[in-house]
Amino acid sequence: MINDLSIYNLDNSLLSIAEKVKGNERITTEDCITLYEKGELGFVGMLANYIREQRHGKQTFFNRNIHIEPTNICIYQCKFCAYFRKEGEEGSWNYSIDEILQKIANYPIGSITEVHIVGGVHPDKDLHYYGKMIAAIKEARPELHIKGFTAIELDFMIRKSEMTVEDGLRKLKEYGLESIPGGGAEIFNDDIRKQICGDKSKATMWLNVHETAHKVGLPSNATILYGHIETFADRVDHLNKLRELQDRTNGFNAFIPLKYKHKNNLLSHIPEITAVEDLRNYAISRIFLDNFPHIKAYWPMIGKDLALTSLSFGVDDMDGTIDDTTKIYSMAGSAEETPGMTSSQMVELIKHNGFEAVERDSIYNVVRKFS
């Protein structure tokens, strides 16, 4: 459809953007704002799907992973967070390393390939505590890839250990850390951050942690928290900072838009945006982030149905099997209250919707294709 733009009743600004996409030309931040302000769902979806199919065809990636959340005790109380608890408060937890090892031991060798570790920023835990956790997991299950800790967690544990960001990340890598997730980015506009997560470190910290991680050989993902009080311009500024960093390092594997969920938090008066806006956001992210290999839909957050629909709007990754091991979004009223799928269920969902399921490892090497 992109080869015949005459079928769309486009104004000149949208036609110009479509021609850029067709010609594999980078769009500008002004173009991106135009897409948010004027781009109807069908139009941006068509452009994003064109890019997706140029890069990946019908391939849709997933991995076999579990999430380990060591604690929800946190020094921060972000207004959008339903996960946070104070120490000793009802609903709080703080798993020991032995308890974490037991959780992993419940999964037979060969059933999972990745352990994804994120949680609250505990006031008493430093880099070496988490390093011992990583080393213990690696000793017990050397075949598992360990993806761990948001930039917010890393910033605190490294400062608590009185190390530089670079030295701290190198030390965690020695312990066995292999990549880092994208959480904690929220929105990079510091005025908005002050309103929704005022205690949290500034955006420059998040960007510096990820740039340094790439420098020391730790690939990462990137996120945005959208659908709260941010503007389209704030979203574009966020995407642009990520694109500029990726230009410098090429260390990001995937971008994951994270939808604000409004249950059980201090921003509950803000309604959630519609599924149409979710899909537009996925599509526009795919169009703008031309240097990001993958766009991921985190299905436990938005639900299986919407995640599958997003595969026609630029998304090429469904995340992992998860297996009911994450509470961060279920506590905030996610679409999947008990997230978990077997590999066969994931494959069937993807294939049933006309796509090719591809199991990947944590850094997107192909493990198996389900043709």
Q: Which residues, 6 or more positions from 70, have their beta carbon under 8 angstroms from its beta carbon?
A: 94, 95, 100, 117, 119, 122, 130, 133
Task: Going residue by residue through the chain, which has 371 residues, state the pLDDT in tens, using 9 for 90 and above.
Answer: 676 666 667 889 999 999 999 999 999 999 999 999 999 999 999 999 999 999 999 999 999 999 999 998 887 665 556 666 777 777 788 999 999 999 999 999 999 999 999 998 888 999 999 999 999 999 999 999 999 999 999 999 999 999 999 999 999 999 999 999 999 898 999 898 888 766 776 899 999 999 999 999 999 999 999 999 899 999 999 999 999 999 999 999 999 999 887 555 555 677 888 999 999 999 999 999 999 999 999 988 888 999 999 999 999 999 888 665 554 444 444 444 455 678 888 999 999 999 999 999 999 999 999 98
CA distance 81 to 260: 9
CA distance 312 to 316: 9
Could you tell me the two tokens for 82? 């339903």
Residues forming a β-bridge with 73: 85
**Which strands form 356-360's sheet, in the order they lie side by side?**
317-320, 59-63, 356-360, 366-370
Instruction: Give pLDDT, residue 95.
Output: 93
Give residue 167's Cα distance to chain centre: 25
For the chain, how far is it from start to end, CA to CA, in angstroms? 26
Tokens 């951050």 belong to residue: 193
Phi-psi region of 27 (alpha: psi -120 to 50; beta: other; left: phi over 0): beta
What is the set of domains in the chain, with CATH numbers? 5-51 (no CATH), 58-370 (3.20.20.70)
- Residues shown for the chain: 371
Angle at 217 between CA 213 and CA 223, to 5 degrees: 45
Write a three-state SS string for the chain: CCCCHHHCCCCHHHHHHHHHHHCCCCCCHHHHHHHHHHCCHHHHHHHHHHHHHHHHCCEEEEECEEEECCECECCCCCCCCCCCECCCCCCCCECCHHHHHHHHHCCCCCCCCEEEECCCCCCCCCHHHHHHHHHHHHHHCCCCEEEECCHHHHHHHHHHCCCCHHHHHHHHHHHCCCEECCCCCCCCCHHHHHHHHCCCCCHHHHHHHHHHHHHCCCCEEEEEEECCCCCHHHHHHHHHHHHHHHHHHCCEEEEEEEECCCCCCCCCCCCCCCHHHHHHHHHHHHHHCCCCCEEECCHHHHCHHHHHHHCCCCCCEEEECCCCCCCCCHHHCCCCCCCCCCHHHHHHHHHHCCCEEEEECCCCCEEEEEC
CA distance 192 to 347: 39
CA distance 201 to 194: 10
Instruction: Give pLDDT, residue 335.
Output: 47
Could you tell me the two tokens for 261? 């969920």
